[in-house]
Homo-oligomer: A and B are copies of this chain.
Amino acid sequence: MRISRRVRFESTQLVAPHQLSVMARLEDRALTPRELAGIECVSPPSMTRTVSGLVERGLVARQDDPLDGRQVFLSLTAFGLLTLKETRRKRDAWMASRLRGISAEEREVLVRATEILTRLASE
């Protein structure tokens, strides 16, 4: 937890973590607010609020669904995509500077640990 907190605070200053997570979901394809709320395990009103913040900042765009007037599609703007990539670049640069001081053998241990934990988390 301490390590996770450190990574969050030192590497994701451009956009808040929960906002960045939503942006990453929209990278591949447009989603509705309801879909995003489900994916992020958050209530629909909460997602409305998160999305509104992103729309105000020009990172995400709303588009009405022509087939179903109740629905809205959300997608990344060009600026949003750029911001997402820049944030990742900064995070990776921070992490790379940390990893520079360790041996190849230690890096291999971290890679293997990541695989194991990812498997455990998905069970």
Contacts and interface: CB of A to CB of B under 8 A. Distances in A.
Quickly give the copy total for this chain.
Answer: 2
A104 interface: no
Given A4-B4, A7-B1, A8-B1, A116 B121 contact: no
B121 A6 contact: yes
A6 to B, nearest CB: 6
Interface stretch (A28-36, A45-53, A81-89, A106-114): A106-114
Nearest to A8: B1
Q: Is the interface of A mostly helix, strand, loop or mixed?
A: helix
Interface in A1-30: 1-8, 17
A99 B1 CA distance: 18
A113 B98 CA distance: 14
Interface string A92-123: 00000011011000100110110011101101
